[in-house]
Structure 1
Amino acid sequence: MGGRIRAARERADLTQEAVALSAGTDRPSVVRIEAGQQSPTADTLFRLARAIGVSPAQFF
């Protein structure tokens, strides 16, 4: 899932910092999620999707 989140973020031309700020989380959390070291909660997943401008379904 982390790779899909990273790919969507990169397609949207957004930095990890910008996504983290918009999603109400910190950059290290986004880094760990994208690297597959941390699983996002459902709430975080929805906030990341909203910050990137995609549907959460694209992450699955």
Structure 2
Amino acid sequence: MPRDLPERIYERRRDLGERIRVLRTGLPATQEAFAEMTGIDRRTLQRIERGTSDPRYSDLLLIAEALGITLADLVRE
């Protein structure tokens, strides 16, 4: 059963997804190519970039590594 989270959490999740998308396209890499780079399923990556999914910690680590940045830089507000 999905939890009802405060709107600010959804907004931050969308902001993180947008940041990931912008950084990914700066490589440049398609979602499919980036999914292969990270080992994350493309559909999962799509949900993360749209902000509709809570990414797992391990996924965030893989994304940061593929982008060549630290996890702290990835999630910095």
The bucket for the TM-score relative to the shorter chain is 0.7 to 0.9
Report 1:38-49 matches (<5 A): 38-49=53-64
Extract unaligned runs of 5+ from structure 2: 1-15
Structure 1 moving runs of 4+ over 4 Å? none
The 8 Å contact of residues 33 and 40 in structure 1, kept in 2 or not, is answered as: yes
Does 2:44 align with 1:29? yes
Query: Identity across aligned pairs (percent)?
Result: 38
Cα RMSD after superposing both structures: 1.2
Alpha-carbon distance in structure 2 between the residues aligned to 1:56 and 1:29 = 18
Which AA in structure 2 matches 1:14? A
Extract unaligned runs of 5+ from structure 1: none
Q: How many residues in Structure 1 have an aligned counterpart in Structure 2?
A: 60
Q: Which residue of 2 aligns with 1:11?
A: 26
Higher relative contact order (CA 8 A, sep 6+): 1
